[in-house]
Structure 1
Amino acid sequence: MMATVPAHWLLKSEPDVFGYADLVRVGTEPWNGVRNYLARNHLRAMKVGDRALFYHSNAKPTGIAGVAKIVRAAYTDDLQFDSESVYHDSRSDPQEPRWSMVDVAPLLAFPEVLTLAQVRELPEWESSPLTQKGTRLSVFPVTPLQFRAALKAAGVKLARK
């Protein structure tokens, strides 16, 4: 039986809200609050063991801060039912929830943030939503070539597991 190759993703977060250092500190965290249907569908496609580049948006500098791993596949994002939460969705039905989340854990911190400017220099990233103008999606797939190029540009290696 062949082993399943992990898929690769990019997850965006503002570091002043929740950054890679916070993920390292807490160990495991639900990736919740995603309120875009395409991004939600990407969350629902994630499998345990998948790898995700952790991207700091609205930061100085913006860029990839490290690698996380998916440790729990998609499940119901409970914040949609919390009327006190900024992620509350009064139209979501508990019998058919609209929104999902996954749990992530840190895998590898980059020595320095791989800046968006540096990512734009990588030919593998030319067609990525990250480098396209007007694309604001917070969760999207990354090709294996893009993933490896980011690791190489950051000067890190990921142990095979």
Structure 2
Amino acid sequence: MNSGTLVGSLIFAAVLVVVIAVLIQLMMRGWRRRAWRQTELIGDLPDVPDKVGTASITTRGLYCGCTMAPAWNERVTAGDLGYRSKAVLTRYPEGILLERVRAKPIWVPRESITAIRMERGMAGKVVARVGILAIRWRLPSGPEIDIGFRANNRDEYDAWLKEDGADG
């Protein structure tokens, strides 16, 4: 390789690195702006109650994130709601508790739940067959969001859907 080709290759590589860095910076800025706009809309999430009844269902899996209902692809980025993590989803008579790894737990009061259903995809997470449990609930501030949860054992979804039917 002669020196002219080497210099041209180095300049091209440097320009490519700068372009990639600018694109990453723009993506991060967009994520932060969306989080800032959604923080006011979402408000404070309900606190986990001090005492709850006996758990009726407990499922381990992956928290896929939250989306603004009914737009399954509009991810909620406020707080730590936009980050996927391993999680445990537990149903109590008073509501649903989602305990996430390295994130605050999410408490969904029973009276706030509007639907529990199956979905093929949610916020960039697509499963070939029906595989995401979507829990739609109304926030104290008014809007509805969907929580996406992919269980390690998909056979446990039936119990969640039956339990929702019993609640009305």
Identify the TM-score tier after normalising by the shorter chain: under 0.3
Q: TM-score, normalised by structure 2?
A: 0.21
Q: Radius of gyration: which is bigger? A: 2
Q: TM-score, normalised by structure 1?
A: 0.21
